[in-house]
Amino acid sequence: MIVYTAPFDPITDDELQQLKIYHKQTRKPIALAIVGDGILSSSKRKKLCMRACNPYRYLHVVDIKQDDTCIALQSETESEVRNGYFYLSAKGIRKILLENGYYFEEVTKAQCNPKRAAHSVRVAHTAFKLARIHHLNKQLAYQMGLLHDVTKKMSDEEGNQLLLYFRPSVVKLDPAVWHSYTAVIWLKQNLCCYNKKILRAIEHHTLGDGKSAYDHILYIADKIEPGRHYDVTMHTKIAERNLKQGAEYVLADAKKYILEKEGKHV
């Protein structure tokens, strides 16, 4: 049997189209198998492949046997998906990638510089802890922590162009806060993420003007993560007791810092 192989980490739309073309040319069932190591375990990758192939009766996910003839699929889109361009993945698996946060760490590393990526991981862990304390969705809090600065390294010129098209009213704000708005646009366009809780929390994480519990969690976590070089003992204590009060305390402290450093009332 001829088996088409790839890491399928994850299976992409390009790979799926190749397999469909091979079937059209041969009019025979098409077998595919996972080979090599990946970010995800082989069992998870196999489940994703099965989900992607489910609508097509002629596509079958198999384990390679000794007498099989293997042909490697050629595609560079798997790495692009892992870098955050989920729209390139097979359509049937995008929801699974998002719900499970698959490759989110890789997305953060790809889109942020090393220092910013490390900060994002610390924010994610801090958000996870706060969500656990307050009996909220820990995984959701972790994911928004990872993704909150995904467009931080975007140039002001690029950010300005993006906001002028999608959010023109935001352009008048300080460019230092633009990334909280461009991130939402980027996540929708590239990661196919439309989770309102995640997007809303990210949008409000710089100004601290969010109202929901998840908005508060991300705003607080961004300011009290272990890499911050100031005492956050009181911030943490209040936040662990009450999220709204914690966010208010962090915001007041941030305004005080800006006033003392730059002489600006915010």
Q: What is the pLDDT of residue 263?
A: 52
Q: What is the pLDDT of residue 237?
A: 97
Distance CA 2, CA 151 (A): 43
**Domain 2-78 belongs to what topology?**
Rossmann fold (3.40.50)
Q: Give the HSE-up count for residue 212: Cα atoms under 13 Å, Cβ half-sphere.
A: 17
Residue with tokens 């190591």: 37
Distances (CA, A) of 4 to 22, 34, 69, 261: 10, 9, 9, 61
- Please tell me whether the peptide bond between 10 and the residue prior to it is cis, using omega within 30 degrees of 0: yes
Q: What is the pLDDT of residue 22?
A: 93
CB 33, CB 64: distance < 8 Å: yes
Residue with tokens 């972790």: 142
Q: What is the pLDDT of residue 255?
A: 84
CATH 1.10.3210.10 corresponds to the domain 103-262: yes
In DSSP notation, 195-220 reads -HHHHHHHHTTTT----SHHHHHHHH
Please report, in tens digits, the pLDDT of each residue of the chain (266 residues total). 789 999 999 999 999 999 999 999 999 999 999 999 999 999 999 999 999 999 999 999 999 998 889 999 988 999 999 999 999 999 999 999 999 999 999 999 999 999 999 999 999 999 999 999 999 999 999 999 999 999 999 999 999 999 999 999 999 999 999 999 999 999 999 999 999 999 999 999 999 999 999 999 999 999 999 999 889 999 999 999 999 999 999 999 988 766 566 555 44
Q: What is the pLDDT of residue 266?
A: 45
Q: What is the pLDDT of residue 66?
A: 83
CB 148, CB 104: distance < 8 Å: no
The shares of helix, strand and coil residues in the chain, as percent rounded to the nearest 5, are 60, 5, 30
According to CATH, where is 3.40.50.620 located in the chain?
A: 2-78
According to CATH, where is 1.10.3210.10 located in the chain?
A: 103-262
